[in-house]
Amino acid sequence: MDKSVAIIGGGPAGLMAAEVLIQRGVKVDIYDSMSSLGRKFLMAGKSGLNLTHSEPFEQFVSRYGNRRAQVEAWLKDFSPDNLREWARGLGIETFVGSSGRVFPKEMKASPLLRAWVKRLSEAGVNFHLRHRWNGVIKLVAEDGGGSKVSVKFETPDEIKTIKADAVVLALGGGSWRRLGSDGAWVNWLEQAGVKVEALKPSNCGFDVDWSPHFREKFDGHPIKSVVLSFESFRKQGEFIVTKGGVEGSLIYAASALMRDEIYAKGKAVMQLDLAPDKTEAQVIEKLSKPRGSRSMTSHLEKTVGIKGVKAGLLREFVPKDDFASGANVERLAFYIKQLPLPLIAPRPLDEAISSAGGVRFESLDDDLMIREMPGVFCAGEMLDWEAPTGGYLLTACFASGRVAGLGVARWLA
């Protein structure tokens, strides 16, 4: 096939689209604004690359919330099992961790990325680094009939214009801008008439109005083995106290619900069960034991095992009389099992692990081509979907890149 495709963005979605197209005889050029490929992918794998998840498919696709239907269609063509088999083809064996998450045996992202880029390069994919798309993209009529897509890039040396038969935009969301995904494309696409849902932080921490004493004493302390409840969400895990608020895996898991509540009502209150291994009746029984001359802090540690930062949380949010006097053990037990922790705001988008919002599916056809821009496709995190951590983000990025690549191939044919 004597056709060419320009892919803008060298992350998992862009690279997967390139793989699909180069296998079909299309000339492929990948352009990335950074000096190396896959910066965010490498950062995500710095502490262990969580590639996907081993849970049953029905449960897996439920993680995508109100965009389940769209993402499920991608995953039926490229499932978590297909992803593991694809990685094996690159020489990367995977294993299932105790939580059901799937990791490469080497744990790192760099061996997979190196093997992948090597295979693409040997297949004929051309890579152009430090090429930043400046938002100019348009259809240009050709002398011999037909048209091409014209795109402009800023490079360290010049403004460069290229033409291709189709373009895939795989520009990422708006988090971690220092790694290349700065969300600048939002305004450019909106100006071109594309409907874009505003980018929002996803898998993010939250601000809490700590007292100065709590902030200084417990900054950086982990809160382990608690149950977080918010609306329909309920999960046991751990998180970390920061000077500004809270962050960590348990917070991220509920972040979409809590973020949307804050945007809708100005605040959100999550509830913590600080003693998930005990019922409220058991807590009452233990607290009812005589404490003699012991302080309430010492009594809590001795009877219920609550100490340190957990005791600090109780002092922070339980009315002073209910905490200090110990006269009403039922009231104190209630707070231990259902401590309200008010959240003020999500942390800024740039600090979030990922972003929600993006190009709305109403602006795309089933092949992820922009309806108002024939020959221009989108893939990856820049689309309007989100997912929790646990391998769900990466899996859907890979799968969407494959869908876009197959869509381009059909368009060109």
pLDDT tens per residue, range 264-279: 999 999 999 999 999 9
Q: Cα-flanking dihedrals φ and ψ of residue 297, to 5°?
A: -60, -45
The tens-digit pLDDT sequence of the chain (413 residues) is 689 999 999 999 999 999 999 999 999 999 999 999 988 888 877 778 999 999 999 999 999 989 999 999 999 999 999 999 999 999 999 999 988 999 999 888 999 999 999 999 999 999 999 999 998 888 887 777 678 999 999 999 999 999 999 999 999 998 878 887 888 899 999 999 999 999 999 999 999 999 999 999 999 999 999 999 999 999 999 999 999 999 999 999 999 999 999 999 999 999 999 999 999 998 888 888 887 777 777 888 888 888 999 999 998 998 887 776 656 888 888 999 999 999 999 999 999 999 999 999 999 999 999 998 999 999 999 999 999 988 999 999 999 999 999 999 999 98
CB of 286 closer than 8 Å to CB of 304: yes
The amino acid occupying position 352 is: A
pLDDT at 1: 61
Domains along the chain with CATH numbers: 4-201+352-412 (3.50.50.60), 206-346 (no CATH)
Please list, residue by residue across 83-118, b when 16 or more beta carbons sit within 10 angstroms of its beta carbon and e when fewer do. bbebbeebebebeeeeeebbbbeeebbebbbeebbe
- The residue among 152, 171, 139 whose CA lies nearest residue 7 is 171
Reference 53, options 97, 90, 107, 116; nearest CA is 97
pTM for this one? 0.89
Q: Where are the alpha helices (DSSP H) in 276-391?
A: 280-287, 296-303, 308-317, 320-324, 329-337
